[in-house]
């Protein structure tokens, strides 16, 4: 897996990602402490609102930002968003009103909503080989999991010697280092299509390609399956561990660590698995495991106590299934878009996947608080399995790259027909200006 780091450009980008993630993790801890300073016992409500603002920014800003980023050099744009995020982190320690936190969080997360899809769409351009790109995706998944494990630990160690305000300084340093690493390499910038001149067209293009592509419609359903399981873990772990099991705070980290460890284990194994199996064969069964495990855990705990060893085992399996669905996502997006459309499609995935989290976060929290954990587990398990059934239906089992199709509306002298030998031909098919509908399935 580490062989992909031999590519200098990717190595610098990966380092930028890791450093920025560590800074973001420390920012999360610092925000919690800042909320407590400003709101006391109402800190939970402040953080919940900040989380909702984060998700809303991701859903609303990513497609709009992409409409403009296609016109800008990628390197300059990525560096600019890092610098703005560093500026916001620098200001946060000095705020004294809750509404100021909300405004700054929206600005910061809007920059993240613009940065992340553009960053993700750059990787397949610098690693065109499928095998190398798969390993890069696994490394990226590991980086996210390590951030979840290491950033809180690092923050806790720093808080033993410094005030929490200095954690914001660590975040600033992280974003500045990320910007410096991006500046140190040359990045490819795709040329926008000449026909794509309007802001409205550029804003909606990624969503239109996404929703017109069968495998991506399946991925949309899988996003819901993953978010249902992930929301249960992220929202309710602290409640299960401390309120139900009456265990110490450290055990919250242990439970979340098992989830992250399962995710890392899957990320380490997936490159070899994906060398042998198609993405669909891995992703749909893995998503089904999420729903089945949630339902089985619900049945086990109904009318009885939730056991600590069982919780750890379930969270470990959920982490494995979570990563097995998440990691191959970039491969699907790369297969499903022309090079110049990749940023738009990655932005669409970013927005749509976070829309799923925007639904499941409050669902997990409300059900856990009002109906009890077994009901929350069962409901989210049903949501996950329903989403898997939809994905299996939307994403055909036969999903070749080369698709035979016909261009009855093109002149026989059109360059596309001349290049591909006639009105009926086959090539790697994606939705674009010449191919606006997916061909009907032709059996045999």
| Interval 333-379: pLDDT, tens | 888 888 778 778 887 888 888 889 888 888 888 888 788 889 999 99
How does DSSP assign 252-302, residue by residue? Answer: HHHHHHHHHHHHHHHHHHHHHHHHHS-HHHHHHHHHHHHHHHHHHHHHHHT
Residue 437 belongs to a domain: yes
Residues 37 and 182 reside in one and the same domain: yes
Residue 24 belongs to a domain: yes
The model carries a pTM of: 0.78
Final residue of a structural domain among 189, 218, 233: 189
Residue 249 belongs to a domain: yes
pLDDT at 194: 40
pLDDT at 195: 44
The chain-wide mean pLDDT, for the chain, equals 81
pLDDT at 223: 94
Residue 197 belongs to a domain: no
Residues 294 and 234 reside in one and the same domain: yes
Chain CA centroid to CA 312, Å: 24
Residue 45 vs residues 35, 107, 167, 249, 339: alpha-carbon distances, Å? 9, 20, 22, 20, 43
Q: Both tokens of residue 47?
A: 């953080």
Domain that holds residue 354: 205-397
What's the CATH code of the domain at 370?
1.20.1250.20
Q: Which long-range contacts (CB under 8 A, 24 or more apart) does 246-249 make?
A: 247/308
Residue 319 belongs to a domain: yes
Residues 241 and 350 reside in one and the same domain: yes
Q: Both tokens of residue 256?
A: 């979340």
pLDDT at 287: 97
Residue 375 belongs to a domain: yes
Instruction: Note whether 321 and 233 are within 8 A (CB).
Output: no
* Residue 393 neighbours by CB distance under 10 Å: 12
Question: pLDDT tens digits for 98-153?
Answer: 888 888 888 888 888 888 878 877 888 888 887 787 778 777 766 765 665 566 55
Residue 253 belongs to a domain: yes
Residue 97 belongs to a domain: yes
Instruction: Note whether 430 and 213 are within 8 A (CB).
Output: yes
pLDDT at 313: 94
Q: Pick out the chain residues at pLDDT < 50.
A: 193-195, 443-444
Instruction: Note whether 353 and 325 are within 8 A (CB).
Output: no
Strand-pairing partners, residue 403, are 427
Question: pLDDT tens digits for 316-325?
Answer: 999 999 999 9
Q: Both tokens of residue 372?
A: 């009890």
Q: Which of 36, 46, 38 minimizes the C-alpha distance to 102?
A: 46
Taking the C-alpha atoms of residue 268 and residue 271, their distance in angstroms, rounded to an integer, is: 7
For residue 92, the 8-state DSSP code is G
């Amino acid at each position: 897996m580490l062989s992909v780091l031999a590519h200098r450009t990717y190595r610098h980008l990966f380092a930028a990602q890791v450093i920025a993630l560590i800074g973001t993790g420390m920012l999360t801890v610092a925000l919690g402490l800042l909320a407590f300073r400003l709101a006391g016992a109402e800190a939970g409500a402040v953080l919940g609102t900040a989380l909702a603002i984060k998700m809303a920014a991701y859903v609303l800003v990513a497609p709009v930002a992409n409409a403009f980023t296609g016109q800008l050099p990628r390197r300059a744009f990525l560096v600019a968003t890092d610098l703005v995020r560093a500026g916001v982190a620098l200001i946060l320690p000095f705020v004294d009103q809750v509404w100021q936190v909300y405004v700054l969080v929206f600005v910061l997360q809007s920059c993240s909503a613009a940065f992340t899809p553009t960053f993700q769409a750059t990787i397949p351009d610098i690693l065109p080989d499928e095998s190398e790109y798969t390993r890069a995706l696994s490394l990226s998944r590991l980086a996210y999991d390590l951030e979840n494990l290491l950033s809180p630990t690092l923050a806790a160690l720093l808080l033993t010697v410094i005030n929490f305000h200095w954690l914001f300084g660590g975040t600033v340093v992280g974003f500045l280092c990320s910007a410096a690493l991006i500046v140190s390499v040359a990045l490819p910038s795709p040329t926008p299509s000449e026909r794509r001149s309007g802001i409205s067209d550029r804003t909606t293009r990624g969503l239109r390609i996404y929703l017109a592509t069968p495998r991506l419609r399946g991925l949309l359903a899988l996003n819901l399956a993953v978010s249902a399981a992930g929301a249960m873990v992220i929202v309710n772990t602290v409640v299960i561990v401390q309120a139900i099991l009456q265990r110490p705070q450290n055990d919250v980290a242990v439970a979340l660590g098992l989830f992250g460890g399962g995710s890392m284990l899957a990320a380490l194994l997936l490159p070899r698995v994906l060398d042998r199996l198609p993405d669909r064969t891995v992703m749909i069964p893995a998503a089904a495991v999420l729903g089945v495990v949630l339902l089985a855990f619900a049945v086990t705990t109904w009318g009885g106590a939730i056991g600590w060893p069982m919780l750890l085992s379930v969270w470990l399996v959920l982490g494995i299934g979570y990563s097995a669905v998440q990691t191959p996502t970039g491969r699907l997006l790369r297969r499903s878009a022309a090079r110049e459309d990749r940023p738009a499609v990655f932005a669409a995935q970013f927005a749509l996947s976070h829309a799923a989290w925007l639904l499941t976060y409050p669902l997990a929290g409300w059900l856990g608080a009002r109906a009890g954990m077994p009901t929350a587990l069962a409901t989210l398990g049903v949501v996950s399995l329903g989403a898997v059934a939809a994905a299996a239906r939307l994403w055909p089992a036969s999903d070749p790259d080369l698709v035979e199709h016909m261009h009855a509306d093109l002149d026989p002298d059109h360059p596309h027909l001349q290049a591909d030998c006639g009105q009926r031909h086959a090539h790697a098919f994606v939705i674009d200006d010449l191919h606006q509908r997916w061909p009907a399935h032709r059996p045999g």
